[in-house]
Structure 1
Amino acid sequence: MRPGIFNPILFGKRLFQQFAVDTYIKIENSRLDYIWGHQDKIRADLYQGLVDSLHAGEGRADSVEKRTVLATSFIGGPRDMRRRYMDAMALVRRYGKPDIFLTMTCNPNWDEIRQELYPGQTPQDRPDLVVRVFRAKLEELKNKLLKKDILGKVRAYVYVVEFQKRGLPHAHFLLIMEGRYKLTCPEQYDRLISAELPNKKKYPELYKLVVKHMMHGPCGALNPECPCTKGRPSCKNHYPRPFNAATLQGKDSYPLYRRREDGCKAMVRKEWLDNRWVVPYNPHLLRYFNCHINVEACGSIKAVKYLFKYIYKGHDRASIAVSEADKNGDIDEIKQYRDARWVTPPEALWRIYGFELSKNSPPVKQLQLHLPNMHMVSFQAAQNIERGLPRVVHLADKSE
């Protein structure tokens, strides 16, 4: 956006969305085509695999394996996601289980977005604005959490940026706190997290924000057609939650937050909802960022892997088909990645701008562990395996 210069692309509305997606798909496809086109030049296999191939009578290197590999260096691919997951688990082994699980979702009605729209435009017409403002808000959230210690001193953290099917970006944070700031009792939960409607007279602004951003539903019996209930006997997110006079420590789950039956209700989508429908939040962060920002205490969860796999589950797909190999027995990881790829305009622009998709701190350095006859060896496609084996054996002896 430049003053005095008319940019027709920014006025394209849905055509702008299509232009952004098409542009990024060209970029991604060019990267995938490069990886696919260089598969037959350099191959890698385990030393044991080479020996097995030689025993089977395969003399040429191009017959060792027909797998098309999507390298770890390709951001967003399955190998890259698994590498990041393993890095996150390394932080857990070093610093302990995470204490806080925080989710921040973009609010398309932020003033920073609205005031930059051209006349007649809506936020969905300008995914570039949505992406840039959300990144600015995300950086401010990181500043609040990591430098100003609004929830306590953070020892290690992981965050991932994802994109909903309808396009809005959101970020998942897992925070591992320092020893004195770890959440160990219900009194500490209540100091950081609330799951109740605030007093309307005492905190009118906070009350409006909770009703606007932090009320789940109505669903279940009140609205069987709600996406979280449709086709199910009840809400998949277990709303409405039970009333609790005080916060309790749940068994292998999130705490049972305080939800007092005080008669406080709010009209949400034509239904009166009470404290049982409130999504846990931090009052300061909710008021500061004016968006859906869910804060949960997860220090008692034993299944830590579930949380990390949740934030590293990968990109959305329009449909899922499980196929290990084609009719010739070949496996094409690049084709599997491309099939049913779902890209929204904000994700396309986020990737074009080169913004970070994930980060963990402290950084993790991966070290290779070589087992006997199980180290990786690179070789040319047309190379004769028998000629390459003496060098391979030398490498094996050296590693042992």
Structure 2
Amino acid sequence: MRRRYMDAMSLVQRQQHLRTEVYKGLIDTVIGGETSASNIGKRIILPASFIGGSRDMRRRYMDAMSLVQRYGKPDIFLTMTCNPSWLEIKKHLADEDEIQNRPDLVSRVFRVKIEQLKDDLFKKNLFGEVAAYTYVIKFQKRGLSHAHFLIILKQRSKMFSPEAYDRIVSAELPDPKESPYLHSLVLKHMVHGPCGVLNPNCPCMRQNRKCRNNYPKDFSAYTKHGRNSYPIYKRRNDGKSVVIRNHTLDNRWIVPYNPYFLAKFDCHINVEICSGIEAVKYIYKYIYKGHDKVMYQISSQQTENIIDEIRNFQSARWICAPEAMWRIFAFDLTNIHPSVMTMHLHLQNH
């Protein structure tokens, strides 16, 4: 059964039933420098039952890490981004309609694509038999929906060699004569940048004037294990190149992809092999970090200095139209399999 979404008013009405005092004990409050007894225990909280809140995301992160404890590290990290130019979207637009004015249509089509992807991954077992998985639907500020999948394969389906990685992931330009359709999709969806010296104003260059995704990659004659969580994929210096935004790019700029899924879904669909365990915690925290937010300050003073997490949460969130429609349709924002049962514990002095 889908969890019901609660609005801010119902959360406010339930505050008197929540044990808010346990979030800040009396001793901790005094140590923190609070001198007014009237302020102790006054806290309006956003409970874990609110989908997408900080407590909800932390709880889901802990559930996902329990899968790692039971089944081992994830094997595949897959990201799928909505393509507003899908034919299923365009053919349902009226002559005067524009894609950005139909978030309901975009959300419905993207959910259908997600269900098709889940069917290929978890029923048809295209990557192998799946022991556990979790995925999160997220929304960018520019309005494009995307999904992050973390998949743990069963022991007999796990990949231990670079040759096994090459059967699933490619990071090279396909031959335009042998696979013209796949070649066109790689140019359309799977080329990074350009950034660096070719384009210092690229959005990925905002931090330390370096590409946050470390592009361009180095040439590699074969796939090998890397020092971080991802392997070093085969990117041969075979002379293949393309012209993107007036710059000549080669295999070093190709985002890893699966040829079958790219050809089937016609969208940006990044497939990575999790070859190591060093960044497992980072990967799970990355997909459960929450939604995009904006930074601004409300000048009005709150009465009696009461900490109101509901007001803070609503004031900081960036809600785009596709996310609003996704929630109205009550589509799943996250899922985990198998289910995790939380054991409630009462700690001393809490």
**2:313 aligns to what?**
337
How many residues in Structure 1 have an aligned counterpart in Structure 2? 338
Separation in 2, partners of 1:114, 1:161: 23
Deviation at 1:184, TM superposition (A): 1.3
* 1:181-227 deviation line (CA, Å, top 9, x unaligned): 11211111111000000111111111111111100011111111111
Note closer, same or farther for the CA distance 1:326–1:284 as it changes in structure 2 (3 Å cut): same
Checking the alignment, whether the CA contact within 8 Å between 1:47 and 1:373 is kept in structure 2 is: no
Note closer, same or farther for the CA distance 1:335–1:220 as it changes in structure 2 (3 Å cut): same
Separation in 2, partners of 1:101, 1:87: 17
Note closer, same or farther for the CA distance 1:116–1:47 as it changes in structure 2 (3 Å cut): closer
Checking the alignment, whether the CA contact within 8 Å between 1:161 and 1:357 is kept in structure 2 is: yes
Please tell me whether residue 256 in structure 1 is matched to residue 232 in structure 2.
yes
Separation in 1, partners of 2:40, 2:207: 48
Checking the alignment, whether the CA contact within 8 Å between 2:220 and 2:235 is kept in structure 1 is: yes
Output aligned runs, 1:83-232, within 5 Å: 83-230=59-206, 232=208
Deviation at 1:270, TM superposition (A): 1.8
Separation in 1, partners of 2:327, 2:59: 19
Deviation at 1:232, TM superposition (A): 3.6
* 1:315-356 deviation line (CA, Å, top 9, x unaligned): 1111167xxx97955322112211222110100000000000
**Which structure 2 residue ranges, 5 or more long, are not aligned?**
30-36
* 1:89-108 deviation line (CA, Å, top 9, x unaligned): 11111111101000000011
**2:269 aligns to what?**
293
Deviation at 1:284, TM superposition (A): 0.5
| Identity percentage of aligned residues | 54
Note closer, same or farther for the CA distance 1:52–1:188 as it changes in structure 2 (3 Å cut): closer
Cα RMSD after superposing both structures = 2.6
Please tell me whether residue 234 in structure 1 is matched to residue 217 in structure 2.
no
**1:368 aligns to what?**
344
**1:73 aligns to what?**
49
* 1:115-161 deviation line (CA, Å, top 9, x unaligned): 11100322112111111000000000000000001111111000000
Separation in 1, partners of 2:84, 2:289: 25
Separation in 2, partners of 1:352, 1:124: 17
Checking the alignment, whether the CA contact within 8 Å between 2:229 and 2:275 is kept in structure 1 is: no
Note closer, same or farther for the CA distance 1:337–1:51 as it changes in structure 2 (3 Å cut): closer
Name the aligned partner's letter for residue 227 of structure 1.
P
Greater Rg, structure 1 or structure 2?
A: 1
Note closer, same or farther for the CA distance 1:167–1:52 as it changes in structure 2 (3 Å cut): closer
Q: Secondary structure at the match of 2:194?
A: coil
TM-score (normalised: structure 1): 0.79
Separation in 1, partners of 2:267, 2:99: 15
* 1:254-307 deviation line (CA, Å, top 9, x unaligned): 100000000001121221110000000000010011100000001313121111
Q: Secondary structure at the match of 1:187?
A: helix
Note closer, same or farther for the CA distance 1:42–1:227 as it changes in structure 2 (3 Å cut): closer
TM-score (normalised: structure 2): 0.90
Checking the alignment, whether the CA contact within 8 Å between 2:20 and 2:43 is kept in structure 1 is: no
Name the aligned partner's letter for residue 259 of structure 2.
P
Note closer, same or farther for the CA distance 1:42–1:205 as it changes in structure 2 (3 Å cut): closer
Q: Secondary structure at the match of 1:276?
A: helix
Separation in 1, partners of 2:39, 2:335: 39
Deviation at 1:40, TM superposition (A): 3.5
Please tell me whether residue 281 in structure 1 is matched to residue 257 in structure 2.
yes
**2:32 aligns to what?**
none
